[in-house]
Structure formats: structure tokens, C-alpha cells
Amino acid sequence: MGICWPKPAKCAHVSSTNLSGDSKIHSKIKPESISSTKKSSHQNSNKQFVADKSYARVSSNLKVDTSVSSNLKSFSFSDLKNASKNFRSEIGEGGFGWVFKGWIDENTFAPTKPGTGIVVAIKKLKEESFQGHREWLAEVNYLGQLHHENLVKLIGYCAESENRLLVYEFMPKGSLENHLFRKGVQPISWATRMHIARGVARGLSYLHSLNANVIYRDLKASNILLDSDYNAKLSDFGLARDGPTGDNTHVSTRVIGTQGYAAPEYVATGRLTPKSDVYSFGVVLLELLSGRRVMDDEVAGFSEDTLVDWAKPFLSDNRKMLRIMDTRLGGQYSKKGAQAAAALALQCLHSDPKNRPSMADVQVSLERLHATMDTPRTPPQQSREKLDFHRIKHTNGPRKARVPTANSR
């Protein structure tokens, strides 16, 4: 899933997108060693059941949870080969493997001809590996149990000999990453960006509200998929895990995630809390506002800072913050809405996790913002903003991160 990012005491394993946007740098991870401070996660029986048991199964048996397999279709490899026309039309590539378009019958899930039945996205693990299997299994076990309008729907899986595949609902608008950063793509409007932010906040808020306090751990633009109405859905639950429950404040685990998006205290200590997801959300919000990648080596002159390092000083100043806004918005956004979103991003990016809001609070803030002030309008100083942006871009902009080592995956 990414770059290995060694820290003195712990192996910090972090995945990263390659900034060209075409290929990716990935590395394998060894089995996650867990020293959890977690007690029983069934203390509050009023809350929804989540994947505590499945996590145990992920950790030990490495088998699909039986309660999950009944919710999902178990496909044969030849079914998926036929459904995808021998894996002909590739729609994406990530650390896990390739994603192909396929067609299946809506009721029987049998492969159908292209253009008939329903379209699905078929993810195929690149090679057999222990960690690849672990992530595949975590995805099956979590998404087999969790259902929410802001989580991508997993239809089924295939585990035949060495083959590991996943079958999802097809998301026609692809990933947020493509809309924000791919060259030549029509920029998405302010209203759409905020709609996406609300969807992501709802998805994370749902996970954190569950009995097992599920931490998503890999929030980034490429894992936010969009349906035909730009509704955001979280995909990729390979790194998700149960969070702290009861009196526990965190779970301790080796560091896995994506460089730039992973919360600094988690990277430094391996202590994982739901507030780690809040930090990653702050990064995504900043990407939505600025239209820039958290790690960007494409802009000349940048050498080490991230978008967060660059943008933070602007976020707390209502006037200066406008300089970070994406010029592709053409000034078509509510100034007050943008300022409020920037202030929220700043809170999410607080270096002390205790001072970050909860995802439930973030969700409420974004809903409130939507209800009150994110109607687009053109600020009079539009041309001035553009001027300032270009000046900043070449002097203080985000710089390429220091990455000590990189293993390819």
C-alpha cells in the first residue's frame, strides 16, 4: 500500500500516491503486531454491532467470517473472468492491484454481456502475499457487515486458490483524486466539493459511532469514490480496525496509512484513535479547498513541506485564507463558507488530537455551513486572489516530503 517510513522505534509503514498521478509507489507490510489497550467492545449493547469478531478472525484464522459470507456473493474466478471479459477494461490501479469493469446479472449475479445487467468494479489482487490477503480479508469482513450510504457497497468476493478479488458497486464518477488533480478534468464546483466533504464526514462519523469505534485509517482522495450524483463513498477498508473502547484512549499498532494524510502523533507513536481519521479529514478538506495534493512534487521549487505545512499559517486568517483557494473555482464560492471550512480544516489539523473535533462535530459543522452559507457568489477581488496565489505558489507552496525509504509493492 505504500512507502515504508521508518521511525526510530517502530516501523512506520505508510502508503503514498506518486505525484505524477499515473503510477504509485507501494510497499508490502508485514503482519501487523498489535498491542491493543482495547477491552471488550461489547460493553454498550445499544450500539450497532461491528466487526470485533471479524477482526479476531482477520488476525488469527485469516478466513472470511461466516456471518459476513452470508451477506456477500462468493464468486468463482471464472465468473469474474467472464464478467470482466477477461479483465479487459481497466478502470484504475492501486497498491492492492488493478480494478476492472465488469457486468453481472442484478438478481443472480451471474456474468452478463457488457451493457446488460449491472456494472461492477472488480478489484484483483496483484500477487499473492500475506499482507495483501490480510487487507483483502479486512475489507471483506468490514464491508460485509457495515452498510451506510457513504460507504461503498461490496457485492462479493473471490478466494479461489491464489486469486483474491473483490466485487463492488461501480462508482461512475470514479475517485475524488481524479476530479481534483487529474489534468484536463473539468473542475468540480464549490457546492459539489462541500457536498463531498459532508458525505465523507457522514461516513466517518458513522464508523466512529459504532460499538467497536471503527477507525478507517486510510482516508485520502483516491479512496473517496463518487456516484453519478457526486455522493461520496468510502472505499478500501483493508487498513480499518476497531478503535479504543471503554476506558481506553487508543489502540497501539504499527503505523500504516498514507503519507501526508496520516496524523503526526499516530506516525510518531503508533497510538491510533478516531482523531487520526479527523486529521486525515482535515487534509482532504484542505485538498478540496485548494485543489492541491497534500504531497506535491510537481510544482517547481518545493522540497520538503506538505500542503498542511504550507497552508496552516493562512487558515487562521480570514483574509489570507482566500489565497489558498483553488483558482480553478474562478472565485465561484461563498467567501464566508470558505472561511468557515478553512477554520474547520484548521481544527481538524490541530497537532494535539485532543483539540480536534470529533467526526460527529465536524459533520454537524458542515451541515450547518450548508444550511447557512455555502451558496456560490463571485468575490470582487477575484483577479487579485489569482495574482496572490501564483506568487505564493512559487515561494511558499507545498514541498515534496522527505521519505527515507521506499519499498515497492
Catalytic residue IDs:
218
Considering the complex, state which of residue 222 and residue 306 has its C-beta at the smaller distance from Mg ion.
222
b vs e for 353-374, b when ≥16 Cβ sit within 10 Å of the residue's Cβ?
beebbbbbbbbebbeebbeeeb
**Count of CA atoms in the C-beta half-sphere (13 A) of 293:** 24
Distance CA 149, CA 168 (A): 14
If binding is defined by CB under 6 A, does position 330 make contact with ligand ATP?
no
CB of 142 to Mg ion, least distance (A): 14
If binding is defined by CB under 6 A, does position 118 make contact with ligand ATP?
no
Considering the complex, state which of residue 226 and residue 321 has its C-beta at the smaller distance from ligand ATP.
226
Considering the complex, state which of residue 223 and residue 273 has its C-beta at the smaller distance from Mg ion.
223
Stretch touching ligand ATP by CB under 6 A, among 80-88, 168-176, 382-390, 392-400:
168-176
Considering the complex, state which of residue 236 and residue 277 has its C-beta at the smaller distance from Mg ion.
236
Stretch touching ligand ATP by CB under 6 A, among 87-95, 185-193, 198-206, 241-249:
87-95
Residue least distant from Mg ion (Cβ)? 236
Considering only residues 233 through 262, tell me which ones interact with ligand ATP, judged by CB under 6 A. 235-236
Number of shown-chain residues binding ligand ATP (CB under 6 A)? 24
Give bridge partners of residue 101 from the DSSP assignment.
Answer: 121
Residue 154 amino acid letter = L
Give the interface with Mg ion as residue ranges (CB under 5 A).
94, 223, 236
Considering the complex, state which of residue 74 and residue 178 has its C-beta at the smaller distance from ligand ATP.
178
CB of 45 to ligand ATP, least distance (A): 33
If binding is defined by CB under 6 A, does position 121 make contact with ligand ATP?
yes
Question: What are the φ and ψ backbone dihedral angles of 382, each rounded to 5 degrees?
Answer: -55, -50
> Which among 150, 149, 191, 168 is positioned nearest to 94, based on CA atoms?
168
> Which among 138, 156, 159, 142 is positioned nearest to 238, based on CA atoms?
138
Binding characters for ligand ATP, 6-35, by CB under 6 A (x = yes): ---------x--------------------
Considering only residues 123 through 162, tell me which ones interact with ligand ATP, judged by CB under 6 A. 123, 152
b vs e for 236-270, b when ≥16 Cβ sit within 10 Å of the residue's Cβ?
bbbbbbbbbbeebebbbbbbbbbbbbbbebbbeeb
Considering the complex, state which of residue 292 and residue 393 has its C-beta at the smaller distance from ligand ATP.
292
Give the 3-state secondary structure of residue 202: helix
If binding is defined by CB under 6 A, does position 216 make contact with ligand ATP?
no
Q: What CA–CA distances, in Å, run from 164 to 27, 122, 138, 219?
A: 18, 10, 12, 23
If binding is defined by CB under 6 A, does position 175 make contact with ligand ATP?
yes
CB of 190 to ligand ATP, least distance (A): 23
CA geometry: angle 195, 196, 197, nearest 5 deg: 90
CA 218, 220, 225, 230 torsion: positive or negative? positive
If binding is defined by CB under 6 A, does position 95 make contact with ligand ATP?
yes
Interface residues toward ligand ATP, by CB under 6 A:
1, 15, 91-96, 99, 121, 123, 152, 168, 170-171, 174-175, 177-178, 222-223, 225, 235-236
